[in-house]
């Protein structure tokens, strides 16, 4: 497979000094479904804006389908479709009119355009609402139309910035289906950003996990989880605030424990032989009269990969809480 996106040592510093993208390198193969997973403020949108020629990079090199971003940005714009984080549909127009307008911008001949618009309305299940004004569409319908809008000119490469953030689960899985279809049937290369690990896990064949402008891990979802090489045990204490510090001390002393982090449900212990360790953990806590509210054993998720690399949870609902500390840090 040949390369669609090639990024080397990319840096983007805003005029106020914020280093939003801090020396990242990655490449995306033609036909691939590639994901950027990371929390709010990680640098996802900035990266997309640079790659889609909307923002000027500070340094580094970017090639898209062999075109150099510095000299051939016009060529790059022609072959890409971009869905930005905020939907951009015109409420005074119907769904069909929005798509036709986009086609006219792209100078697509009318006859071809009409057929393409019908095809796209069908793809995103908006046929029955095609001639209604979009101001009356639900959030999910607007996102679907917005996605269709980016596809009018049959881009070879599609950039999607958090296409499902804020959507209800039903609209989300509908979008997932369309994206899989576009990737499979139209062979469109997709670059998607998300803060939902379930989304990255389900859709992306290759992932980069991004945190404060840096790529902290990359590979296929399976590779990333296997690299972690450990299971996680989530421990909820009856009185987390009171017993946490003592519990961490005793848990650290157990053989086989490789890392302990604070998490939303109290503590997460990473261990290679988690299933054997559970009995030891319960015994140790019991000997100190620390009461447990629950113990939950699981194979690694992408969230665990992120937690292990950064000491933070990626979950969107966790983002407002203060960042949790890593106790026994360090790489194995």
- The residue from 30, 31, 41, 318 that contacts ligand ADP (CB under 6 A) is 41
Q: Whole-number minimum distance, CB 207 to ligand ADP, in Å?
A: 14
Minimal distance in Å, beta carbon 46 to ligand ADP?
3
Stretch that binds ligand ADP, among 16-24, 64-72, 148-156, 166-174 (CB under 6 A): 16-24
Inter-residue contact 234 to 299 (CB < 8 Å): no
Cα→Cα distances 235→24, 291, 310, Å: 35, 11, 19
- Alpha-carbon distance of 135 to 92, in angstroms, equals 7
Q: Which is nearer to ligand ADP, 16 or 253 (CB)?
A: 16
**14 touching ligand ADP, by CB under 6 A:** yes
Q: Which of 230, 309, 311 is nearest to 271 (CA)?
A: 230
What the block records as the tokens of 39 is 């929390």
> What is the SS3 assignment for 47?
helix
Residues that bind Mg ion (CB under 5 A): 44-45
Contact 51, 161 (CB under 8 A): no
From 26, 28, 38, 233, residue interacting with ligand ADP (rule: CB under 6 A): 38
CB of 4 to ligand ADP, least distance (A): 21
| Pick 3 or 165: Cβ nearer Mg ion | 165
Q: Is 16 in the site for ligand ADP (CB under 6 A)?
A: yes
Count of residues interacting with ligand ADP (CB under 6 A): 12
Query: Would you list the DSSP string of 86-103?
Result: S----TTSBHHHHHHHHH
Q: Which residue, 45 or 83, is less far from Mg ion as judged by CB?
A: 45
Q: What gap in Å lies between CA 156 and CA 170, rounded to an integer?
A: 27
Of 20 and 230, CB closest to ligand ADP: 20
What residue 310 binds from Mg ion, ligand ADP, none (CB within 5 to 8 A, per partner kind)? none
Question: Assign residue 276 a region: left if phi > 0, alpha if psi is -120 to 50, beta otherwise?
Answer: alpha
Judged by beta carbon, residue 9 or residue 239, the one nearer ligand ADP is 9
When asked if residue 220 is in the footprint of ligand ADP (CB under 6 A), the reply is no
Residue placing its CB nearer to Mg ion in the complex, 46 or 232: 46
Reported in sequence order, the residue ranges of 65-196 that DSSP labels E, i.e. its strands, are 67-68, 80-83, 157-161, 189-194
Determine, following the binding rule CB under 6 A, whether residue 209 of this chain makes contact with ligand ADP. no
Q: Does 46 contact ligand ADP by CB under 6 A?
A: yes
Token reading at 49: 């804006």
Cα Rg of the chain (Å, integer): 23
Closest to 195 (Cα-Cα) out of 170, 172, 224, 227? 172
Choose from Mg ion, ligand ADP, none: what does 38 bind? Cβ within 5-8 Å by kind: ligand ADP
Nearer to ligand ADP among residue 45 and residue 206 (C-beta): 45
**Minimum distance of ligand ADP from residue 111's CB (angstroms):** 39
Where are any strands of DSSP class E within the chain? 3-13, 19-29, 33-37, 59-64, 67-68, 80-83, 157-161, 189-194, 206-211, 214-219, 231-237, 257-263, 266-271, 292-298
Q: Which residue's Cβ has the minimum distance to Mg ion?
A: 45
- Using CB under 6 A as the binding rule, whether residue 152 contacts ligand ADP is answered as no
Span near ligand ADP by CB under 6 A; candidates 42-50, 133-141, 285-293, 307-315: 42-50
**CB distance 210 to 314 below 8 Å:** no
- State whether residue 294 is helix, strand or coil: strand
Closest separation in Å from C-beta 43 to ligand ADP: 4
Q: How far is the CB of 30 from ligand ADP (least distance, A)?
A: 25
- Catalog residues that contact ligand ADP under the rule CB under 6 A: 14, 16, 18, 20, 38, 40-46
């Amino acid at each position: 497979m040949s390369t669609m996106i090639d990024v080397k040592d990319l840096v983007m510093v805003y005029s106020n000094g914020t280093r939003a993208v801090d020396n990242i390198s990655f490449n995306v193969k033609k036909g691939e479904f590639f994901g950027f997973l990371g929390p709010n403020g990680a640098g996802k949108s900035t990266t997309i804006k640079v790659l889609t020629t909307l923002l000027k990079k500070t340094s580094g090199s970017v090639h898209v389908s062999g075109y150099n971003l510095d000299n051939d940005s016009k060529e790059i714009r022609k072959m890409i479709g971009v869905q930005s984080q905020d939907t951009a549909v015109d409420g005074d127009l119907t769904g069909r009119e929005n798509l036709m307008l986009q086609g006219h911008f792209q100078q697509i001949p009318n006859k071809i355009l009409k057929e393409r618009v019908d095809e796209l309305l069908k793809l995103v299940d908006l046929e029955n609402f095609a001639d209604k004004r979009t101001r009356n569409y639900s959030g999910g319908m607007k996102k679907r139309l917005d996605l269709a809008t980016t596809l009018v000119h049959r881009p070879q490469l599609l950039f999607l910035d958090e296409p499902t953030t804020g959507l209800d689960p039903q609209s989300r899985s509908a979008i997932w289906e369309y994206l899989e279809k576009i990737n499979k049937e139209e062979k469109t290369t997709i670059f998607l950003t998300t803060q939902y690990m379930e989304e990255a896990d389900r859709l992306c064949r290759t992932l980069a996990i991004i945190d404060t402008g840096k790529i902290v891990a990359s590979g296929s979802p399976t590779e990333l989880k296997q690299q972690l090489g450990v299971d996680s045990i989530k421990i909820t204490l009856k009185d987390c605030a009171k017993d946490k510090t003592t519990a961490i001390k005793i848990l650290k002393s157990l053989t086989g424990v490789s890392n302990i982090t604070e998490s939303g449900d109290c503590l997460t212990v990473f261990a290679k032989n988690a299933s054997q360790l559970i009995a030891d953990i319960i015994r140790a806590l019991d000997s100190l009269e620390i009461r447990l509210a629950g113990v939950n054993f699981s194979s690694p998720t992408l969230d665990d990969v992120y937690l292990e690399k950064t000491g933070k949870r990626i979950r969107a609902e966790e983002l407002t809480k203060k960042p949790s500390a890593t106790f026994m840090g360090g790489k194995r």
